[in-house]
Amino acid sequence: MFDYKLLSALAAVVEQAGFERAAHVLGLSQSAVSQRIKLLEARIGQPVLVRATPPSPTDIGRRLLNHVQQVRLLERDLQSVVPALDEGGIAERLRIALNADSLATWWAPAVGDFCAEHRLLTDLVVEDQDVGLKRMRAGEVAACLCGSERPVAGARSLLLGAMRYRALASPAFIARHFPHGVTAQALARSPALVFGPDDFLQHRYLASLGVEGGFEHHLCPSSEGFIRMTESGMGWGLVPELQVQEQLASGKLVELLSDRCIDVPLYWHHWRNGGQLLTQLTDHLAKKAGQWLVPLAAQ
């Protein structure tokens, strides 16, 4: 077995953002915490912490942390069976990778009550889908939300539904760039908004209109920034319908071509043996996500 005294010291230093606070929480002296970290590093032969303010885990440190979180989840399951072992209901943490648009829209309303009820704290990591799955494979996250179905070894995936995107722009942008109506060619010549190098929604939209090739675009890796830039007439872009209901109702944003949406599927990937809390969260999402996501049409 690993030495969990050492691993707990690592977890405390990262979670408390410093040696002093970690010592306080663990009821140890600061030098005792420091000794435990050094011993851990000596055993595994490489550093687990970057000594910055605050200290951050190295790659191997992050894997150890995730392991500690997984073990805590498993312990938690046992505690509900053997209540005498319960130390008073310490909140648990789950590290979860998800896409920015989910976090900006339906994620919190879907899981808020669950987290409060189960005293679950979340470490959220915003990643595009491929990186999210890589983090699953490396054991850095307990679960991830992404667009591809295929789970990594040891994990399961579950289709929660799809996010619906519509191509929108501000009335001023439309007046400036499409005085003679929105045509595919005019669209290809006006500046678009692109979330990042892995965002091909705008390409797909143009391709569906028969336009191939590059186009002028701003890069904006922020879900909320994307909306603000669309509202400010900086470009057109594909935006989650969920996020702009108010702007569509008020006419602040307008659909470029009516009723032409792109649905992006969202799969929930989770470890098969991730403990009861992860299983409960999975069941909860399966039940709730349909309130915000649309059913995925057969493609």
Among 44, 158, 225, 248, binds its own copies (CB under 8 A): 225
**Tokens linked to 125:** 């990591």
Kindly identify the residues of this chain, within the stretch 175-194, that bind its own copies according to CB under 8 A.
176, 191
CB-hemisphere CA count at 13 Å for 204? 13
3 state DSSP class of 109: helix
**Residue 220 engages its own copies in binding (rule: CB under 8 A):** yes
**Residue 134 engages its own copies in binding (rule: CB under 8 A):** no
Crossing angle between the packed helical segments 30-44 and 4-15, to the nearest 10 degrees: 120
**Residue 229 engages its own copies in binding (rule: CB under 8 A):** yes
Which DSSP helix (H) or strand (E) runs through 62?
A: helix 59-81
Distance between CA atoms of residues 61 and 49, nearest Å: 6
Among 214, 250, 251, 258, binds its own copies (CB under 8 A): 214
**Residue 263 engages its own copies in binding (rule: CB under 8 A):** no
- 241 close to 261: Cβ distance less than 8 angstroms: yes
Strand-pairing partners, residue 267, are 146, 159
Kindly identify the residues of this chain, within the stretch 93-132, that bind its own copies according to CB under 8 A.
100, 103-105, 107-109, 111-113, 115-116, 121-126
Among 217, 252, 284, 288, binds its own copies (CB under 8 A): 217
Q: Which residues bind its own copies (CB under 8 A)?
A: 15-17, 21-22, 24-25, 54, 56, 91, 100, 103-105, 107-109, 111-113, 115-116, 121-126, 173, 176, 191, 197-198, 203, 213-214, 216-225, 228-229, 231-234
